[in-house]
Structure 1
Amino acid sequence: MIPVARRITAVGAVCALGAALAACGTSGPARQAPARSTVSVSPSPARPPVLAPGPGGLTPVFEHGPRTRGKTVAFTFDADMTADQGPRAAAGEHFDNPGLIAALRALKVPATVFMTGRWAEQYPAEARDLGHDPQFEVANHSWSHYAFTADCYGLPTVDADGMRADVQRAYTSLRAAGVPHAMPYFRFPGGCYDQRSLRRLSGLGVTAVQWDVVSGDAFATDADAVVKQVLDGVKPGSVVVLHCTRSAAPTTERVVRTVVPELRKRGYRFVKVSELIDQADGQR
């Protein structure tokens, strides 16, 4: 489903909603892993920056970095696979996009991958490859990719009592797949959250990461339209939501190969989400 922006009045924050069947990585284990880029990227810090909890320990929400700290932009990619999509993967549907990952490496673009635990279980070699590459940081996108609110693009919902367990199970799956340092960042499936879900995740130490630029790549067939939407939306400190599956976001590699050189011409520097959060936390 194509993300759109709306306001969640219960928390007074903008929630740009989006969900697509998207995933990152390389194809099956039999395929040789792509060569790593020699991009000069600092590994994620031993203690990644997070935002301070809100009143009463409420899970904090991050949407974009500072607008006055230079032209930085973070590309984020949702590695989505829901709990019930195993049969589709077994039937040959690809929840990966090796061409996109290769493009990011060739273009030397750092990125943050929000990965579901179910995807990591399906593609442990790919999860491990991304988790060990300092050009990327892997964060939590739930285990099931079920919604944490009602009315979220038709996704099945997680019971309120199961929300914490779903997030914790995702971290367990990431570790089991070989991701050594999954970041303390969580992206709600579909981008859908409310005050109840923020309360349910209180105490886990995660920062909920949203975005301020909707790429529109989910199920898009017109790469030029997606390119325009990204270029028109990016501002200093922006977080861009993208997807990387060959079946549900077929234009994304072309979009990245076009947008990255253009943003660099405009003076932008690509960073991971952790750097933007660190900048934002420094202003507090």
Structure 2
Amino acid sequence: MSVVKKIFSVLLVIILTIVGLWQLSGSRNYQIVGELISRVNTHERLIALTFDDGPTKKHTDSVLAMLAEHDVPATFFVTGKEVDIFPDEARKILAAGHQLGNHSWSHPRMVLKSPAFIAEEIEKTDAALRAIGYQENILFRPPYGKKLFVLPWYLQKTGRTSVTWDIEPETWPDVAKSAQTIAEHVIENAKPGSIILLHVMYDSREESRKALPSIINGLKEQGYTFVTVSDLIENRTQ
């Protein structure tokens, strides 16, 4: 084999390895070690509505009001930094009976990070949640769904469960363009045990907020009952 071919072969292997690792880092239903849950196997028509980011001063109250109006529990994967800035809003989520989860402190992509960095992002957020009175088990959701080696290792080492999702309407521009298309996507793709991901805490997510009533009503019409992620996990079929 010529030197040029050898170099080409090595470069090809490197490129394929990088691409493979990048795809692995973003997998919704697989990680190297530890427990990852993207959907739960269940015979019951149960479904979990989850929100990432926040809380924020501007939109927490309106989101909670919509959930209360429809008598729906949800799981809020919040960032520690925003809990620290808006503790009253975090307490409102807790007081309304919803579940809180850890979405890191500052929302970085937790790939190619040191164990010390990952530990700080996770532990500071857990501490912020405990400080506002949250006493239940704290599930973790990786920012952007990204994880590779160190993050799953740390989660397993500390006995934490990582939660992703199987329904993400905001990922595709043609779906995220309107409340109607968001709601239609969620309703059409829902399965028993599904975990829905939405972002509703920022001004840029107006269509997702507007989609909430249609999502809730549409899934209830299909016989679904909304539960928190922890309740969903407790009802999985072994």
TM range (shorter): 0.7 to 0.9
Correspondence for 1:111: 74
Kindly provide the amino acid, as one letter, of the partner of residue 71 in structure 1.
R
For the residue of structure 2 that corresponds to 1:201, the secondary structure is helix
Correspondence for 2:27: 14
Kindly provide the amino acid, as one letter, of the partner of residue 38 in structure 2.
E
Correspondence for 2:226: 270
Deviation at 1:80, TM superposition (A): 4.1
* Pair 1:142 & 2:104 matched: yes
Deviation at 1:15, TM superposition (A): 2.0
TM-score between both structures, scaled by the size of structure 1: 0.68
Check the 8 A contact 2:48/2:229 in 1, yes or no. yes
Correspondence for 1:202: 156
Check the 8 A contact 1:78/1:113 in 2, yes or no. yes
For the residue of structure 2 that corresponds to 1:197, the secondary structure is helix
1:100 to 63, 66, 85: 63
Deviation at 1:9, TM superposition (A): 5.8
Cα distance in 1 between the residues matched to 2:171 and 2:210:
11
Percentage of matched positions with identical amino acids: 26
Which consecutive unaligned segments of at least 5 residues does structure 1 have? 1-5, 17-53, 82-88, 151-157
Correspondence for 2:123: 168
Check the 8 A contact 1:142/1:188 in 2, yes or no. yes
After superposition, the C-alpha distances for 1:116-165 in whole angstroms (9 at most, x for unaligned) are 1001011110111212332x011111111111026xxxxxxx54431022
Check the 8 A contact 1:218/1:249 in 2, yes or no. no
Check the 8 A contact 1:148/1:160 in 2, yes or no. no
Check the 8 A contact 2:60/2:89 in 1, yes or no. no
Correspondence for 1:37: none
Correspondence for 1:74: 48
- Select the structure of larger CA radius of gyration: 2
Choose between structure 1 and 2: higher helix proportion. 2
Correspondence for 1:63: 38
Kindly provide the amino acid, as one letter, of the partner of residue 68 in structure 2.
R
Q: How does 1:1-284 map to 2 (within 5 A)?
A: 10=24, 14-15=27-28, 58-66=33-41, 68-80=42-54, 96-134=59-97, 136-149=98-111, 158-176=113-131, 178-216=132-170, 220-280=176-236, 283=238
Deviation at 1:195, TM superposition (A): 3.0
For the residue of structure 1 that corresponds to 2:77, the secondary structure is strand
Kindly provide the amino acid, as one letter, of the partner of residue 217 in structure 2.
P
After superposition, the C-alpha distances for 1:197-254 in whole angstroms (9 at most, x for unaligned) are 2013332221000001112189844111111111121111100001112412111222
RMSD of equivalent CA atoms = 2.7
Check the 8 A contact 1:217/1:242 in 2, yes or no. no
After superposition, the C-alpha distances for 1:160-188 in whole angstroms (9 at most, x for unaligned) are 43102210010111222x13225320000
For the residue of structure 2 that corresponds to 1:212, the secondary structure is coil
For the residue of structure 1 that corresponds to 2:205, the secondary structure is coil
- When residues 10 and 116 of structure 1 are mapped into structure 2, their CA distance, relative to the original with a 3 A threshold, is same
Which consecutive unaligned segments of at least 5 residues does structure 2 have? 1-19
Kindly provide the amino acid, as one letter, of the partner of residue 40 in structure 2.
G
- When residues 181 and 132 of structure 1 are mapped into structure 2, their CA distance, relative to the original with a 3 A threshold, is farther
Kindly provide the amino acid, as one letter, of the partner of residue 192 in structure 2.
P
- When residues 218 and 116 of structure 1 are mapped into structure 2, their CA distance, relative to the original with a 3 A threshold, is farther
Cα distance in 2 between the residues matched to 1:243 and 1:218:
14
Choose between structure 1 and 2: higher strand proportion. 1
Q: Which moved more, 1:114-123 or 1:182-191?
A: 182-191
